[in-house]
Amino acid sequence: MSENNTIFGKIIRGELPADVVHEDDHVMAFRDINPAAPTHILVIPKRYIVNTLTADSDDKELLGHLVLACAEVARKEGLDGYRLVINNGESAGQTVFHLHAHVIGGRSLSWPPG
């Protein structure tokens, strides 16, 4: 595992501020600085994983915890529905190369997105 010098690594280490809405030993959740909806929260593992393409079987428990943390954040925010998005790789729109899930809600979301 390489050193995590991403913006999310800096947030985890407390080097950059974030509006944290949930944190435990394994994940941190904070408001997106450029929200796509009234509620847009990023949930990240504290252990550095680039994306699900680089995850392996040792990450299985952490990935499950991440998804459950997303649901907990959505409940805390009072969402009755939300979209959970994980972009994997540059061609999929990943811009920060530290695994993160977007919890997006607070308005009607159409499909397909865009």
- Count CB-CB contacts under 10 A for residue 32: 17
Catalytic residue among 40, 98, 100, 102: 100
Does 100 participate in catalysis according to the annotation? yes
Cα torsion 32, 33, 34, 35 to 10°: value is 40
**Residues contacting 20, CB < 8 A, separation 6+:** 28, 29, 30
Q: How far apart are CA 44 and CA 47, in angstroms?
A: 9
- Count CB-CB contacts under 10 A for residue 28: 20
> Which sequence positions are flagged as catalytic?
100
